[in-house]
């Protein structure tokens, strides 16, 4: 009887123990279910139409198609600068002058050499005439006559050389005045009175006021989408009026400092845009690309693929995207998102695909 009672008590204890374990596990399961059911609070943003615009705007500047750097053909010290930036000039107008003192001295020296050479030639001519008569009379040898004739030719060459040197000095004196080679506007000055410049050093830039163009720089990742003939719209910062134009030149080489490419666009000149004016250049990006920027914190990676979490039916859904350039704390999304997509911008490191979320 005692044995039977002991078996009964042992069975009762085991039953109670199983019941306790079952209740404990049930509590944990309910706690886990409740925890998993709680949505994760996240920050989010909606992709709007202005962000998804396929138009790009660049800052540009109005230039002339014909901008000529001007320099002296001789070196020297600048005496006077007769123009300033913005001055309109006409062809042949004197723009800068050099100190002419040394050049005038060179001309005086060259003139003296011409006179000496001319005097030597006169003497050589007289000697040649005299020797010709003496040769006819048999008073001198043929060799003596030939030597006299050689001296005459040498004197003639010396005079020609002296004359050439004089003309060169005269030209250098004329080069001391820098003149406009065409009508235009002075858009840059690089030298002031008193400054010593070398031959060929740019001292002014002259631009033709007609045949204007817009010049702007585009980044490396955008230049491949541009083509010669692509349409653009140009407007100034002081007017909303847009002028139609088209790209006619794309630099094949990037600037070594900014790593951007210079692009030039022509347009119909209506008088509204002036040389040196800052403008906005609006152009369409490649139809297959979407250019917009989102916070860097929104971008994550799964299995080595970049993407963002969008919110669909209160769940976080991972979407792969194509990344572009960086700009401050933002990153460019070139493709993978659509207008109206709600993307999570913070807390992506705690998310998994399909997780329930709640926007803060």
Q: Which three-class secondary structure string do you get for 252-306?
A: CCCCCCCCEEEEEEEECCCCCCCCCCEEEEEEECCCCCCCEEEEHHHEEEECCEE
Can you read off the two tokens belonging to residue 189?
Answer: 């000055």
- The span from the CA of 206 to the CA of 85, in Å, is 9
199-230 as b/e: b if 16+ CB within 10 A: eeeebbbbbbeeebbbbbbbbeebbebbeeeb
Tens of each residue's pLDDT in the chain, 360 residues: 444 555 555 555 555 455 545 454 545 444 444 445 578 888 888 886 555 455 578 889 999 988 999 999 999 999 999 999 989 999 999 999 999 999 999 999 999 999 999 999 999 999 999 999 998 988 889 999 999 999 999 999 999 999 999 999 999 999 999 999 999 999 999 999 999 999 999 999 999 877 899 999 988 877 877 889 999 999 887 776 889 999 999 999 998 888 889 999 999 887 788 888 889 898 865 433 445 778 888 898 888 888 999 999 889 999 998 887 777 678 888 888 887 888 998 878 888 888 998 886
Three-state SS for 245?
strand
Count other C-beta atoms under 10 Å from residue 23's C-beta. 9
Residue 210: phi and psi, rounded to 5, are -100, 180
Q: How would DSSP label each residue in 102-164?
A: HHHHHHHHHHHHHHHHHHHHHHHHHHHHHHHHHHHHTSS-HHHHHHHHHHHHHHHHHHHHHHH
- Identify the pLDDT of residue 12: 53
Q: How far apart are CA 246 and CA 60, in angstroms?
A: 14
pLDDT given for residue 31 in this prediction: 46
Strand partners, 207: 67, 185
Structure-block tokens of residue 351: 């998310």
The pLDDT value recorded for residue 336 is 85
Question: Which residues, in sequence order, are CB contacts of 63 under 8 Å at separation 6+?
Answer: 207, 212, 213, 214, 215, 264, 275
Q: Which residues in 164-184 are b (16+ Cβ under 10 Å) and which e?
A: ebbeebeebbebbbbebeeeb
pLDDT for residue 193: 95
The answer for residues whose C-beta is within 8 angstroms of residue 327's C-beta and 6 or more apart is 293
Give the strand pairing for 55-64 and 212-219.
antiparallel
Three-state DSSP state, 189: strand
Interhelix angle 142-175/101-137, rounded to 10 degrees, is 160
The confidence score (pLDDT) of residue 79 equals: 95
For every residue of 67-99, which 3-state class applies, written as one string? EEEEECCCCEEEEEECCCCCCEECCCCEEEEEC
| pTM confidence score | 0.54
- The Cα 311–Cα 349 span in angstroms is 15
**In sequence order, which residues have a C-beta less than 8 Å from that of residue 157 and are 6 or more positions away?**
none
Contact 235, 247 (CB under 8 A): no
pLDDT for position 283 = 81
Q: What pLDDT sits at residue 352?
A: 87
């Amino acid at each position: 009887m005692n044995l039977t009672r002991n078996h009964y008590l042992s069975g009762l204890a085991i039953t109670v123990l199983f019941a306790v374990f079952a209740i404990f596990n049930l509590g944990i399961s309910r706690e886990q279910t409740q925890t998993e059911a709680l949505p994760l609070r996240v920050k989010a943003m909606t992709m709007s139409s202005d962000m998804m615009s396929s138009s790009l705007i660049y800052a540009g500047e109005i230039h002339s198609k014909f901008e000529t750097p001007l320099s002296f053909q001789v070196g020297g010290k600048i005496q006077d600068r007769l123009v300033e930036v913005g001055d309109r000039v006409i062809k042949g107008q004197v723009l800068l002058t050099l100190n002419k003192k040394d050049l005038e001295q060179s001309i005086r020296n060259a003139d003296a050499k011409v006179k000496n050479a001319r005097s030597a030639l006169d003497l050589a001519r007289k000697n040649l005439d005299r020797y010709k008569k003496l040769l006819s009379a048999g008073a001198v040898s043929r060799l003596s006559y030939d030597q006299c004739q050689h001296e005459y030719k040498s004197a003639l060459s010396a005079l020609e050389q002296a004359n050439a040197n004089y003309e060169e000095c005269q030209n250098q004196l004329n080069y001391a005045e820098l003149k406009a080679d065409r009508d235009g506007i002075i858009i840059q000055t690089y030298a002031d009175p008193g400054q010593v410049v070398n031959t060929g050093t740019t001292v002014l830039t002259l631009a033709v006021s007609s045949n204007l163009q817009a010049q702007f720089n585009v980044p490396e990742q955008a230049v491949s989408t541009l083509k010669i003939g692509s349409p653009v719209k140009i407007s100034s910062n002081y007017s909303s009026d847009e002028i139609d134009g088209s790209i006619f030149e794309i630099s094949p080489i990037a600037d070594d400092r900014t790593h951007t490419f210079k692009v030039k666009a022509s347009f119909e000149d209506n008088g509204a845009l002036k040389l040196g004016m800052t403008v906005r250049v609006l152009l369409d990006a490649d139809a297959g690309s979407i250019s917009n920027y989102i916070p860097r914190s929104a971008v994550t990676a799964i299995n080595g693929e970049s993407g963002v979490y969008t919110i669909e039916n209160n769940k976080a859904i991972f979407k792969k995207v194509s990344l572009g350039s960086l700009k401050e704390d933002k990153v460019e999304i070139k493709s993978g998102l659509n207008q109206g997509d709600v993307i999570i911008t913070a807390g992506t490191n705690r998310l998994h695909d399909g997780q329930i979320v709640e926007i803060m």
